[in-house]
């Protein structure tokens, strides 16, 4: 297991704004006193304070902090953090037409300590748009588990989709020096998309953007059958029906898998990466031993160290 590192840097107001934008989809619900935000990348906990102090905690803290140190020194070099449409003060957001046929993908589970990573790609033809709109298809984060469990079975009976799941065991075996969270997501998205574009006529391929296009394709440099011509959009669940559909299907599968874990170990398995999650982790380690975390959790998360530290007291 990688050692947790703590790194603190100072950034100016311009970089603070860039950081707020970059981490907006990774924010934790609770923010420490005097902090602008706290985010969890999966590798690192990032806390930005009003004073301009930025603290990075986790196995990749030095790398994460180093990126922002570089940006702070050279403001012209921001292509890693923003796409072309967001340069020059982010004049306009990228959009696509609504009345189109598309293949879109989205993932669930990357910010959850327990449970697998689930990526789904789905194909939505123009003809199926009214059907999905009538069901109320939208970003899965805006729906309750009960709504997801009710709506998604109706979707998967009619809409073509491909779901790929990476179990916790597989994640922990693969995560390491040459495989970070974004590379894992890029590989899974590419595999799901490659399946869905076969034999389907579409106007757009859309991915909910989690990193720059350049970085995404760099992660796939060793992959075969790389899907090209992707439109990367932030918050794509709100702008593309196929991404919203994929988001809902991924969450449906994730909920089912979390329930399976709970039934297997006889305890309610919570989502997220908060302190309640750690309480459950402590109970599981006390009952089943440290090895249980390899099969149900993402070991590189900082929660692991806190759980094991508490158990050893």
Instruction: Enumerate the domain spans of the chain.
Output: 5-81, 102-259
pLDDT value of residue 169 = 96
Superfamily (CATH H level) for 5-81: TATA-Binding Protein (3.30.310.10)
pTM comes to: 0.72
Closest-CA residue to 108 (of 202, 180, 189): 189
pLDDT bracket for residue 64 (50, 70, 90): confident
Q: Burial, 177: exposed, middle or buried (Cβ in 10 Å; 0-12, 13-18, 19+)?
A: exposed
pLDDT value of residue 73 = 52
Task: Lowest mean pLDDT of 48-62, 86-100, 139-153, name the range.
Answer: 86-100
Q: What angle do CA 208, 257, 231 make, to 5 degrees?
A: 10
Q: Burial, 201: exposed, middle or buried (Cβ in 10 Å; 0-12, 13-18, 19+)?
A: exposed
Q: 81 pLDDT exceeds 50? A: no
Q: Which residue has the tokens 């070099």?
A: 77
Fold match, 5-81 / 102-259: no
Those residues whose C-beta lies under 8 Å from the C-beta of residue 175, and which sit 6 or more positions away, are 181, 184, 298, 299, 300
Q: 226 pLDDT exceeds 60? A: yes
pLDDT value of residue 90 = 41
Please give the average per-residue pLDDT across 86-112, as a whole number.
Answer: 76
Q: What angle do CA 69, 74, 80 make, to 5 degrees?
A: 75
Fold adopted by 102-259: Nucleotidyltransferase; domain 5 (3.30.420)
């Amino acid at each position: 297991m990688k050692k947790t590192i703590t790194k603190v840097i100072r950034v100016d107001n311009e970089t603070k704004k860039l950081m707020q934008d970059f981490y907006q989809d990774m924010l934790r619900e609770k923010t420490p006193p005097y902090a602008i935000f706290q985010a969890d990348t999966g590798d690192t906990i990032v806390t930005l304070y009003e004073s301009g102090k930025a603290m990075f905690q986790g196995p990749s803290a030095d790398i994460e902090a180093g990126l922002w140190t570089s940006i702070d020194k050279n403001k012209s070099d921001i292509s890693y953090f923003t796409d072309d449409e967001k340069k020059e003060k982010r004049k306009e957001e990228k959009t696509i037409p609504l009345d189109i046929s598309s293949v879109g993908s989205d993932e669930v589970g990357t910010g959850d300590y327990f449970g697998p990573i689930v990526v789904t790609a789905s194909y939505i033809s123009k003809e199926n748009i009214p059907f999905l709109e009538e069901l109320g298809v939208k970003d899965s984060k805006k729906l309750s588990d009960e709504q997801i469990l009710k709506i998604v079975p109706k979707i998967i009976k009619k809409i073509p989709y491909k779901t790929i799941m990476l179990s916790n065991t597989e994640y922990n075996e693969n995560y390491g020096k040459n495989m970070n969270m974004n590379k894992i997501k890029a590989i899974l998205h590419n595999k799901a998309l490659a399946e869905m574009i076969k034999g389907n006529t579409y106007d757009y391929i859309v991915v909910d953007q989690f990193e720059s296009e350049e970085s995404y394709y760099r992660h796939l440099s060793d992959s075969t059958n790389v899907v090209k011509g992707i439109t990367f959009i932030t918050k794509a669940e709100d702008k593309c029906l196929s991404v919203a559909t994929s988001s809902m299907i991924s969450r449906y599968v994730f909920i089912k898998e979390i329930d399976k874990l709970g039934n297997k170990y006889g305890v309610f398995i919570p989502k997220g990466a908060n302190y309640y999650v750690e309480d459950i982790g402590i109970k599981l380690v006390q009952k089943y031993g440290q090895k249980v975390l390899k099969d149900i959790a993402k070991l590189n998360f900082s929660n692991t160290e806190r759980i094991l530290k508490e158990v050893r007291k």
